[in-house]
């Protein structure tokens, strides 16, 4: 008997259909007829998932009421990297895409410092989109006279190229200079210090021995 492919076939209730089908299709059809899928678990506005062969379950922690999709516990995990959420819009608008968040510990170091008595306490960072916020406390003990430019290297992300210099102030300090500020030059990972209000270059002798400071600062990155 010749065989043909049947598509878009509608079968009414109580209709008997005679057809030649291959063995694998027959087995699948037999299973479908003899073992219908069974819904288990909560069913009140829950989103259903396949849990096993011929079995679906209403997920109690994932519900949709026609307006809001609610995740009761757990987190949203994307299948691939660099994906995000469009906030405040109803279409894929690039300027509303939040696709980058990261927090951690960065590794600061003093550049061209002649001593070895520095301590960095709680150097942390948070990155949201293109903005990076860094914080830490620095303590320096005794060291030989050092007129090298005071600089802290090791920023977690490179400062945005061509952005010029970003300025900030140090809210807590116990140094030889009454007021000090910090700068982030473009396309590098270094913080430099300067005197306020003169803007003069700041060196390790200006910081002083057995002194400390703490700061929180934010800069832009292309990373």
DSSP string for residues in 73-135? SS----SSSS--EE-S-SS--GGGEE--EEEEE---EETT-S---EEEEEEEEEEETTEEEEE
126 and 169 assigned to the same domain:
yes
Same domain assignment for residues 119 and 193: yes
Residues 64, 113 share a domain: no
Structural domain contains residue 21: yes
Domain hosting 61: range is 16-74
CB 191 within 8 A of CB 217: yes
Opening angle at CA 136, ends 205 and 141, nearest 5? 35
pLDDT of residue 57: 86
Same domain, yes or no: 61 and 114 = no
Give the end of a domain, one of 74, 91, 111. 74
pLDDT per residue, tens digit, the chain (223 aa), is 555 555 555 545 444 444 454 556 555 545 555 566 677 776 688 888 887 777 888 888 889 988 999 998 999 999 998 899 999 999 999 999 999 999 999 999 999 898 888 999 999 999 999 999 999 999 999 999 999 999 999 999 999 987 555 666 677 777 777 778 888 888 999 998 888 778 788 899 988 999 999 999 999 998 8
Q: What Rg value do the Cα atoms of the chain yield, rounded?
A: 32
State whether 134 and 202 are in the same domain. yes
- The domain total for the chain is 2
Check whether residue 114 and residue 194 sit in a common domain. Answer: yes
Identify whether 90 is part of a domain. Answer: no
């Amino acid at each position: 008997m010749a065989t043909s492919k049947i598509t878009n076939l509608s079968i009414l209730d109580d209709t008997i259909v005679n057809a030649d089908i291959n063995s694998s299709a027959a087995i699948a059809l037999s299973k479908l007829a003899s073992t219908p899928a069974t819904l288990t678990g909560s069913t009140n506005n829950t989103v259903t998932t396949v849990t096993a062969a011929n079995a679906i379950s209403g997920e109690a922690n994932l519900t949709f009421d026609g307006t809001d999709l609610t995740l009761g516990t757990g987190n949203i995990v994307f299948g691939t990297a660099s994906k995000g959420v469009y906030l405040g819009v109803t279409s894929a608008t690039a300027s509303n895409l939040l696709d980058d968040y990261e927090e951690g510990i960065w590794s600061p170091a003093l550049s061209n410092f002649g001593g070895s008595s520095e301590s960095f306490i709680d150097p942390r960072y948070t990155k949201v989109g293109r903005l990076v916020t860094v914080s830490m406390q620095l303590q320096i003990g005794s060291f030989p006279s050092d007129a090298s430019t005071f600089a802290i290297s090791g920023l977690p992300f490179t400062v945005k190229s061509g952005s010029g210099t970003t300025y900030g102030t140090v809210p807590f300090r116990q140094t030889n200079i009454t007021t000090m500020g910090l700068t982030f030059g473009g396309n590098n990972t270094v913080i430099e210090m300067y005197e306020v209000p003169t803007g003069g270059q700041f060196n390790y002798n200006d910081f002083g021995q057995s002194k400390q400071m703490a700061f929180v600062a934010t800069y832009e990155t292309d990373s």
